């Protein structure tokens, strides 16, 4: 069974371990495009939010300094 040894997008010669028939350059381009689309979607979600809160994507919101409990710093001598 003959294997396709050329990239399906640009026609470049493929290395033996090329995934999905794409050369390394086309694979990187595809990855960069998908990352850019995700960021655009995230930005539109943020700009369209009507809540006005700035909650980070991970959901973690750090405490403000005045909300932290007092804890004295030990002095090493």
Residue stretches of the chain with pLDDT short of 70: 1-4, 36-55
Q: Which tens digit of pLDDT belongs to each residue from 13-31?
A: 888 887 777 888 888 888 8
Question: How wide is the angle at C-alpha 51 spanned by C-alphas 57 and 49, nearest 5°?
Answer: 65
**C-alpha distance from residue 1 to each of 4, 9, 45, 71 (Å):** 10, 22, 48, 70
For 44: left if phi > 0, alpha if psi spans -120 to 50, otherwise beta; the answer is alpha
């Amino acid at each position: 069974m003959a294997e396709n040894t050329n990239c399906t997008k640009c026609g470049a010669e493929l290395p033996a371990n090329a995934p999905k028939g794409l050369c390394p350059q086309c694979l990187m381009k595809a990855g960069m495009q998908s990352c850019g689309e995700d960021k655009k979607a995230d930005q539109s979600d943020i700009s369209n939010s009507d809540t006005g809160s700035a909650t980070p994507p991970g959901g973690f919101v750090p405490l403000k300094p005045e909300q932290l409990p007092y804890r004295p710093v030990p002095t090493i001598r």
